[in-house]
Structure 1
Amino acid sequence: MVSAAPPVLDAGPGPARTSARQWTAIAVLSLATFVVVTSEMLPVGVLTPMAEGLGISTGTTGFSLTITGLVTAVTAPAVPRLLGTADRRLVLAVAMVVLAAGNALTAVSGGFPLLLVSRVILGLGMGAVWGLAAAVAPRLVTARHAALAVSFAVSGVAAASVAGVPLGTLIGNAFGWRAAFAALAVAAVVLAAALLAALPPVPPVPQPAGPAATGTPERLLRVPMVATGLVLITLLVTAHFAAYTYVRPVLEERTGLAPGPIAALLLVYGVFGLAGNFAAGALAARRARATVASLAAGIGAAIALLAAFGGTTWITVAGIALWGLAYGGLSVAGQIWMTRLAPHRAEHITGLYVGVFTAAIALGALAGGTLVEASGVTTVLWTAAAGALAALTIAATRRR
């Protein structure tokens, strides 16, 4: 039997209880962010065979994350402005189809030029999905479940490390890296249909009048705490991705691990990342900035462990677990922090946050690639640890 069309979602408080259907919508949204981030990060897990298949260096292949990050950085802040009154559900579905096209082109790339085009297309879809997911999620549930809904929606980011990148790595090891990107293209198309089926129509949030209406992206950047938060996120994410983009060469060269154990270790990273996502979401609901500061300390300590003791297997495993736990909570904790600074402009602050976040991914991948080519992976690790320390210093000393 075909069910009745879902009601249009408004910006009001809604019923007192979140229904199973509403949680299903959150689950589909979480799967969408999972596929989005897996699509972006998969080159990390298949970096060496992908470089060999394309006939380019590992550093150049890592730059593909820079391309995606830059395009997403431009797309995410622009999405709320360009959408107007468009149904956010339809926008999310179309963006997933665009993402599928980018993955399909990556799968058939024969060299860097087509890879460049495919990653640009991927960035367009990613910017729209990631930029809207955290803003749409709290509107799908009751007010008391809003923070949990954001945690679930953004959990796709951590889950991409738990299952996405390791699974893609396993598929790449077994069937070739092209098969892994092809599988993501199929998954994105399926999720586009699922979004249309599970989400109700989602109109834009009515914007406030008067002084609150001045919260455009440009004006938001003039708010001191918003600017501070974005600088901190930029430093921390840049440091993380400078090192994490080249984690496979680190594990191959310094720890001496084979492809199978590397995939297992990436799974360890992801499992701890998923735990960190929900733990940080709960903590950030009470003390967002302190939570982000703690995560910065964890990321810096983990990278420093790998830099100093990467040749010792058990210390490497511990460092990877700590790294996953700390970084897994960053996206949701930072998201909660930023939206609380501009609650009436959730789409704009989310788009701005995602834009800065993904620009930092691009910068980190670029910086890491440059350092790898010039000085090797150990230099990358120590530089990234210093960047995380700088972020921690800002979080610990800056006052509201």
Structure 2
Amino acid sequence: MPTAKSAAPVPAVEGRSPRGSARRTASPGEPAHWTAVVGLALGIFTIVTTEILPIGMLTGLADDFGVSDGRAGLLMTLPGVLAALCAPLVAVAVGRLDRRIVLTALMALLVGANLLTACAPAFWVVLVARALVGLVIGGFWSIGAGLAPRLVPAASVATATAVVFAAVPAGSVLGVPAGTLLGEHVGRRAAFVVLAALALAVAVLLATSLPALPVDTVTRPRTLAALLRVRGVRVGLAVTGLVVVGHFAAYTYVTAFLRDTTHVDGTRITVFLLLYGAAGVAGNFVAGAALTRGPRRTFAVAAIGIAAAVLLFPALGRTWPGAVGLLVVWGFAYGAVPAASQTWFARAAPDAREGAMVVFTASFQATLAGGAFLGGAVVDATSTSAVMLLSGVLCLATAATVALAPGPEGR
């Protein structure tokens, strides 16, 4: 593991199981567990969709429970904050427990959280349910995001990682229109029953398709503390923080820009965002191939792509064609970010892969919430155009940091 001056293992913090270390990748002679890879992707898709579904029905939920729109916004911020806090807590708490059992149990907990939301008699009960969603996000992401190397041979790891992370843009985009459509056609409470059914199906798929996944290392608090002293991890935190804050500061308010400045109605906004999501899925798979050569160039190109799109949005996004074109560029570029960030952390700490995924998950969720908060503050003080410009500056700073700072291996 790299330090500030060299690359050397840090066995003292790894807490290896006395039963031995599991292989980091599947051997060429073993079958590839592609069904399990798809199960992980569907799990992340279900989690992401559950996290952002309330955006599409926030006003209606506020009316149902007799709270203000601002207070209803806790349904979005609470899971993100708790996910960042729970990522290390869950990883430490599960110790040596087989990861197949952990992931299946977390998905079962998501079933319960969605059912609790569906039948909640009061707003505080919904908040409890959303807190459980945050726990699931933190635990599932930190454990499941880095499992692709244990499910497929080394030659297929990049493809498997791309499949898993394709769920992020898909869930991010489909979640909002899904919330709107389900809320209108089956009711807001029934929408969460639908998500509970999806989570149950994924739990069954994971339980039946994942192989036994004994731990290769036990994540302990000192493991995470040691990771924060690794130069490559610290750089990963910086570049992930900058680009995710920049992206979500602007993306949280892109609907407001399209409505108020581009003058697009709700139906067309949904279509525009679906195009953004499709571009994100494509960008994710292109990044998957590029990441076999390392995350540095992919990260820089993605940050520059996002910067170009958001900096041009206040000028060119005023027309429908301009807005669509920039959203496609934006989506394609951002589609590469989650996989590039995950790969960066994995390469920075190859001997503490699960610990690295904990740091990745916590930083990603914390900066996601921070970006949305920053964007709201800027929009309240100025305008949606101003937040686009701020986002562009942060993404350019990401590219500069990637270019000037050491890579994930510390050099």
Deviations 1:282-337 (A, max 9, x none): 11220311111111111122222323333211111111111111111100111111
CA drift of 1:169 comes to 3.6
Matches of 2:306 and 2:403, distance apart in 1: 15
Pick from 265, 278, 287 the counterpart of residue 280 of structure 1: 287
Q: Please name the residue that 2:23 is paired with.
A: 11
Query: How high is the sequence identity, in percent, across the aligned residues?
Result: 39
CA drift of 1:347 comes to 0.2
Q: Contact (CA 8 Å) 1:44, 1:246: kept in 2 or not?
A: no
Deviations 1:44-66 (A, max 9, x none): 44455555555556555445332
Using the size of structure 2 for normalisation, the TM-score is 0.85
**SS where residue 211 of structure 2 aligns?**
coil
Q: Please name the residue that 1:256 is paired with.
A: 263
| More displaced stretch, 53-62 vs 141-150 | 53-62
CA drift of 1:13 comes to 5.2
Q: Please name the residue that 2:323 is paired with.
A: 316
Structure 1 residue 65 corresponds to structure 2 residue 72: no
Pick from 147, 150, 153 the counterpart of residue 164 of structure 2: 153
Pick from 331, 347, 353 the counterpart of residue 354 of structure 2: 347
| More displaced stretch, 186-195 vs 74-83 | 74-83
Q: Contact (CA 8 Å) 2:26, 2:151: kept in 1 or not?
A: no
Deviations 1:265-298 (A, max 9, x none): 1111111111111111211220311111111111
CA drift of 1:384 comes to 2.2
Pick from 295, 310, 330 the counterpart of residue 302 of structure 2: 295
Matches of 1:48 and 1:368, distance apart in 2: 20
Q: Contact (CA 8 Å) 2:56, 2:178: kept in 1 or not?
A: no
Matches of 1:300 and 1:165, distance apart in 2: 24
Pick from 57, 71, 76 the counterpart of residue 87 of structure 2: 76
Deviations 1:253-275 (A, max 9, x none): 22222222122111111111111
Change (3 A) 1:206 1:394: closer
The answer for unaligned runs of 5 or more in structure 2 is: 1-20
Q: Please name the residue that 2:6 is paired with.
A: none
**SS where residue 216 of structure 1 aligns?**
helix
Q: Contact (CA 8 Å) 1:62, 1:245: kept in 2 or not?
A: no
Change (3 A) 1:252 1:154: same
| More displaced stretch, 145-154 vs 97-106 | 97-106
CA drift of 1:188 comes to 1.0
Q: Please name the residue that 1:334 is paired with.
A: 341
**SS where residue 343 of structure 1 aligns?**
coil
Q: Contact (CA 8 Å) 1:107, 1:181: kept in 2 or not?
A: yes
Q: Please name the residue that 1:3 is paired with.
A: none
| More displaced stretch, 89-98 vs 43-52 | 43-52
Matches of 1:238 and 1:107, distance apart in 2: 31
**SS where residue 150 of structure 1 aligns?**
helix
* Bigger helix share: 1
Matches of 1:35 and 1:168, distance apart in 2: 13
Pick from 134, 147, 152 the counterpart of residue 141 of structure 1: 152
Matches of 2:25 and 2:193, distance apart in 1: 41
Using the size of structure 1 for normalisation, the TM-score is 0.88
Pick from 248, 251, 256 the counterpart of residue 241 of structure 1: 248
What does 1:88-127 align with in structure 2 at a 5 Å threshold? 88-108=99-119, 113-127=124-138
Change (3 A) 1:261 1:218: same
**SS where residue 225 of structure 1 aligns?**
helix
CA drift of 1:360 comes to 0.6
Q: Please name the residue that 1:228 is paired with.
A: 235
Q: Contact (CA 8 Å) 1:305, 1:316: kept in 2 or not?
A: no
CA drift of 1:83 comes to 1.4
Pick from 97, 113, 118 the counterpart of residue 86 of structure 1: 97
Give the letter for the 2:362 counterpart.
G
Q: Please name the residue that 1:5 is paired with.
A: none
CA drift of 1:178 comes to 3.9
Q: Contact (CA 8 Å) 1:207, 1:344: kept in 2 or not?
A: no
Deviations 1:143-199 (A, max 9, x none): 222222222222211221354444344323444444433321221122112111111
Matches of 1:186 and 1:390, distance apart in 2: 42
RMSD: 2.7
Q: Contact (CA 8 Å) 1:79, 1:351: kept in 2 or not?
A: no
Matches of 2:307 and 2:124, distance apart in 1: 35
CA drift of 1:354 comes to 0.7
Structure 1 residue 31 corresponds to structure 2 residue 42: yes
**SS where residue 388 of structure 1 aligns?**
helix
The answer for unaligned runs of 5 or more in structure 1 is: 1-8
Give the letter for the 1:11 counterpart.
R
Deviations 1:96-152 (A, max 9, x none): 122233333444567764443232111001111111112222111122222222222
**SS where residue 183 of structure 2 aligns?**
helix
Q: Contact (CA 8 Å) 1:158, 1:273: kept in 2 or not?
A: yes
Give the letter for the 1:43 counterpart.
P
| More displaced stretch, 53-62 vs 271-280 | 53-62
Deviations 1:365-391 (A, max 9, x none): 222233344434333323222222222
Give the letter for the 2:47 counterpart.
V
**SS where residue 146 of structure 2 aligns?**
helix
Q: Please name the residue that 1:189 is paired with.
A: 200
Q: Contact (CA 8 Å) 1:59, 1:369: kept in 2 or not?
A: no
Pick from 177, 181, 184 the counterpart of residue 170 of structure 1: 181
Give the letter for the 2:287 counterpart.
A
Give the letter for the 2:193 counterpart.
A
**How many residues get paired?**
387
